[in-house]
Amino acid sequence: MNASARLTTLTRIGFATRGILYLVIAFLVIRAGRTEDPSGALQYVADGAGRVLLVVMAAGLLAYGIWRLSDAAFDIERHGSDRKGVAERVGAMVSGVVHLVLTWQAVRLIRGVKSAGDGTQAGTQVALDLPGGTLIVMLGAVVLFGVGLVQLVKATKGSFLQYLDPRIAHQPWARWSGRAGYAARGIVFIISSYLLLKAGLNDQASQAGGMAQALSWLTSPADIIIAIGLSGFGVFSLIEARYRRLHDMPVADMARRATSR
């Protein structure tokens, strides 16, 4: 198995890891009334899982992050150069960075270092401390709102199915788990954008929040409904781990292009 094939296999583990984290988030809301984001879900898994599983999850997250960043840089998934394609590649870049941060957190957990504080609030405070920080935070809220709308559009159109094996893409369980998942994520992102906008307007980083705070903001039974949707995204991520069509990454060619710049 060459380097490209190995990286593709690890990327599939990354999809599975993402699915597990979303299923954990949904489980905690439904069974315990506890809200977490993917980072918190990773901490929960670390508390109950063995070191070997955590190492495998960290490797998967790393490969997934690299794959997403490579897609952003080299258009591996062939999005094209039109406005939609550029938007997809920007989204891939953001996703890649997020999953590399999760990889770093997983490595810290493997070393026995617990997560500290709310990353969203800490990042918001850093932004607010910069010149023009309020505007930066408000622009971030607008971008986050746009990301939420994109998720809702994907849920409506079912465009996420185009990357699956066609035999699986036509199955109702694949289509509806994806629809529910993307719709729930869209709502969570929009709520997070509202919290971030509030933090910017009031110059209070403590009012910002990611997925955990967005789920906490919801009242019953809305939080349960969204959690069920997020469990759908977890299921769909597991489906992608097995059935997503992934183009092998031309590792050697990518290295040559990167070093020639």
- CA torsion sign, 84 to 150 to 185 to 154? negative
pLDDT at 251: 55
pLDDT at 159: 92
Per-residue tens of pLDDT for the chain, all 261 residues: 566 777 888 889 999 999 999 999 999 999 999 999 998 899 888 887 777 888 989 999 998 999 889 888 888 877 777 888 888 888 889 889 989 999 998 898 888 877 655 678 888 888 889 888 899 999 999 999 999 999 999 999 999 999 999 999 999 999 999 999 999 999 999 999 999 999 999 999 899 989 999 999 999 899 999 999 999 999 999 999 999 988 766 555 555 555 555
Helix (H) or strand (E) holding 10: helix 3-27
pLDDT at 165: 94
Burial of 2 per CB tally in 10 Å (0-12, 13-18, 19+)? exposed
Measured between alpha carbons, how far is 18 from 200 in angstroms, rounded to an integer? 30
CA distances (Å), origin 7, targets 13, 20, 48, 65, 70: 10, 20, 27, 11, 11
**Overall pTM > 0.75:** yes
